[in-house]
Amino acid sequence: MNTYLQFAAIKFRNNMAYRFEYVMGILSTLLSFVVYWSIYRALYGTEEVVDGVTFSMVATNFIISLGLNNAFAKNEMFLQDKIKQGTIANELLKPVNFKLRMLFEDFGEGLFRVIFNFLPTVIIAMFFAELQAPSGTLNMMLCIISAILGYIVLWLISFIVQSWSFWLFSVWGLITIKNVFVNILAGAFIPMWFMPAWLRDFIKFTPFDSIYFTPVQIYLGELNGYEIVINFARQIFWILILYALSELFWRRGIKKLVVQGG
Amino acid sequence: MKDTISLFFAYAKLGLKTRFQYKVDTIVTSFAVFFRESAGIIAMYLALLKFDTINNWNIDELIFLFSLIFITYGIFIVFFMALRDFSDWIKHGDFDRVMLRPRGLLTQLLLCGADWMAAFGHGTLGVLLFLFSANRVGIEWNFATALYYIVIVISGVLIQGAIFLIFSSISIYVVETQSLKELFYWNMRKFAIYPLSIYNKFIQSILIFVIPFAFVNYFPAQFFLRKDDMSAYPEFFMYLSPIVGTVLYVIAYAFWKFSLRYYKSTGN
């Protein structure tokens, strides 16, 4: 385990080198937030509450889901590049679990961006947007745990799509299409509350609402104890299902892998 | 002139042939671009099922507004891809190669290649959005309005072309301009897609006076739609796009010509 934490720590430190990049990253996240904040400000008009959802809940939802969405973005061409260049052969020889190592490296990078991109964005946004405070210390901690579970759901979906590199010329298109589904169905581009009923009913059967919407609801104090347990159970259920799928694709892929030269 | 056109077609044929070596990938990638760009529109569509209008714009009118951004980008990227990636040209020394050929530098850059997948993705989306909305927003289409539509599309391409020509000129001095493009083009474009009037005055001023995206879609769309939020701006802005496009392009071109004198190869 210690080995894998080291991988995460290395990635975390590597990111510190690119200071200018991360200033630009904060700006980019902030501007995306301003776009959606302005859209919903205009949609709300003079209203403060629509269907029991206050404008500050919408703003908070966007800063969490859009902010985490940007913070969790990573190089999704990683596996394809390794396979195309054949360097995956060297990786497989190392006495570490490649998938687990990839997860921890990405997690290190994600953690870096949560601290140095997401948090500064939230702090700046507090000056002009009416964000809600967390609904309590316990809820804040549960929110962080569910955000980590959400990250794993997101990571596994990404890994499954990336593992198609074993069979396809390029997975860029599939990854982009996957991201559209995540952006919309996980509620980064439109708050879950305002989706049409049929779409919400559909999303209930998918892993997408466990990514950002569960942490958002816990943060806002929308869920009671029983509902929180159910939501955690759903997140873990999806992690198990997606993990099984990712193992399936990974093992098939490795069997199929032929590296030219070396 | 005839020579230049045939040069464009020769390059285009070459580019498309190269791309269609990988037929499935090209189609999937173009579709992915199309779908990625639709995401904001789908989100807006879903939101308007709940809220009906945004600053009095209904979904059809918004779609008409969106169409201009995507059509102009689709055309823009056929000609200006080399300028979009110009810092790479300098870094890899490809620009030196261009200088040795018996044609104008900018002519070669404009003609030499297109990001066909982006062109298909954005272009198809723009055309579909236009076809969907053109007859639903109460525009009386006749020769004059159709002609003005073509003029504003060209203006929109010129405005975005001028912006990239300026970035490219700056690349001559500092080589790396990725963050500049990110900040002043891509981030501003996020704003430009939606009606200008939803933003605060500071953002509006940037989109009108600094990176004049407002003249790519918002003001031209107002010429056709005459929504009441136009009352916040001078009325003549609706007719200004062709002038903004031409003037900006001329300025950018002069800056480009001036900067070329300072070009130093990065070596190798």
For B181-191, write each residue's pLDDT tens digit: 888 888 899 99
Residue B135 has pLDDT above 50, yes or no: yes
In this predicted structure, which of A195-204, B81-90, B133-142 has the lowest mean pLDDT?
B81-90
> Which tokens hold the place of B30?
């173009």
pLDDT tens column, B64-108? 999 999 999 999 999 988 888 888 888 888 888 888 887 788 888
Distance CA(A237)–CA(A202), nearest Å, equals 17
Does residue A191 sit within a domain?
yes
| Domains of chain B by residue range | 2-260
pLDDT for A258? 74
Domain hosting A124: range is: 2-256
Q: What DSSP designation does A133 have?
A: P
* pLDDT score, position B267: 62
Confidence tier at B201 by pLDDT (50, 70, 90): very high
Assess contact for B213 and B192: CB atoms under 8 A: yes
**Tell me, what's the pLDDT at B268?**
52
Instruction: Give the per-residue pLDDT at A36.
Output: 95
Beta-carbon separation of B55 and A41 below 8 A: no
- And the tokens for B43? 């989100």
Which stretch, A16-20, A24-28, A112-116, B126-130, has highest mean pLDDT? B126-130
| Closest C-alpha among B35, B70, B34, B50 to residue B192 | B70
A173 pLDDT higher than 50: yes
- The number of domains in chain A is 1
- pLDDT at residue number B108: 83
d(CA B182, CA A80): 25
pLDDT at B145 over 80: yes
Whether A14 shows a pLDDT value over 80: the answer reads no
Say if CB B249 and CB B162 are below 8 A apart: yes
pLDDT tens column, B153-174: 999 999 999 999 999 999 888 8
Q: Residue holding tokens 């009386």?
A: B140
**Backbone dihedral angles phi then psi of residue B57, each to the nearest 5 degrees:** -90, 125
pLDDT computed for residue A208 by the predictor:
95
Alpha-carbon distance of A91 to A70, in angstroms, equals: 28
Q: Considering chain A, what is the average pLDDT of its residues? A: 90
Contacts of A173 in chain B (CB under 8 A): 25, 28-29, 31-32
Question: What integer is the mean pLDDT of A145-169?
Answer: 93
Identify the three-state secondary structure at position B57: strand
List the single residue in B54, B182, B190 with the smallest CB-CB distance to A35: B190
DSSP 3-state assignment of A178?
helix
Report whether pLDDT(A261) > 70.
Answer: no
> Bigger pLDDT: B243 or B115?
B243
> What is this structure's pTM?
0.90
Q: Which residue in A177, A160, A182, A149 sits closest to A243, CA to CA?
A: A160
Minimum mean pLDDT among A66-70, A149-153, B245-249: which range? A66-70
Which amino acid is present at B138? G
What is the C-alpha to C-alpha distance for residues A253 and A233, in angstroms, rounded to an integer? 30
Higher pLDDT among residues A62 and A25, named by residue: A62
What is residue B106's predicted lDDT score, i.e. its pLDDT?
Answer: 82
Task: Confirm if B156 and B242 have CB atoms less than 8 A apart.
Answer: no
A72 occurs within a structural domain: yes
Q: Give the one of A168, A184, A196 whose C-beta lies nearest to B43's C-beta.
A: A184
Chain A positions in Cβ-Cβ contact with residue B203 (cut-off 8 Å): 34, 38
A238 — pLDDT class (breaks 50, 70, 90): very high
| Amino acid B204: pLDDT | 95
For residue B197, the chain A residues in CB contact (below 8 A) are 42
Whole-angstrom distance, CA of residue B130 vs CA of residue B149: 11
- What mean pLDDT is predicted for residues A5-34? 82
pLDDT (0 to 100) of residue A262: 47
Residue A243 located in a structural domain: yes
* A contacts of B32 (beta carbons < 8 Å): 172-174, 176-177
pLDDT, residue B90, reads 83
Provide the ipTM: 0.89
Q: Round to whole Å and give the CA distance between B188 and B212.
A: 9
Which residue in B263, B239, B72 sits closest to B163, CA to CA?
Answer: B72
